[in-house]
Amino acid sequence: MAGQLHTAAEAAGILKVRESWLKTKAAARLIPCTFIGKHLRFSDDDIAEIMKAGARQPVTVREPGSGRRSA
C-alpha cells in the first residue's frame, strides 16, 4: 500500500461520489479499502483501483449500410 491514506470524505471528493455511497460499498466489501481499527481509510492505490473498476471502453458502432448481406 503506497502513498497517503484518505478519509471517506476525502476519497469521495477525489472520486466525485457521495461519501455515503463510498461507505456503503466499503462496508459491503465491494470496493478496496482499509480499516484501521474502526476507522475507514482509502489508499491512493484503493482509489486508483475503484476508478479502474468503473472504467468502460467505448463501444464501436457500425454505420447502417456498411455491412453486406449475402443473397
pLDDT for 17: 96
Q: At which residue does the C-alpha cell 486508483 appear?
A: 48
Question: 36-68 pLDDT, tens per residue?
Answer: 999 999 999 999 999 999 888 888 887 777 666
SS3 content of the chain, % helix, strand, coil (to 5): 40, 15, 45
Statement: residue 1 has pLDDT above 80:
no
Contact yes or no for 35/41 (Cβ under 8 A): yes
Residues 6+ positions from 58 with CB-CB distance below 8 Å: none
Q: What is the pTM of this model?
A: 0.74
pLDDT for 8: 98
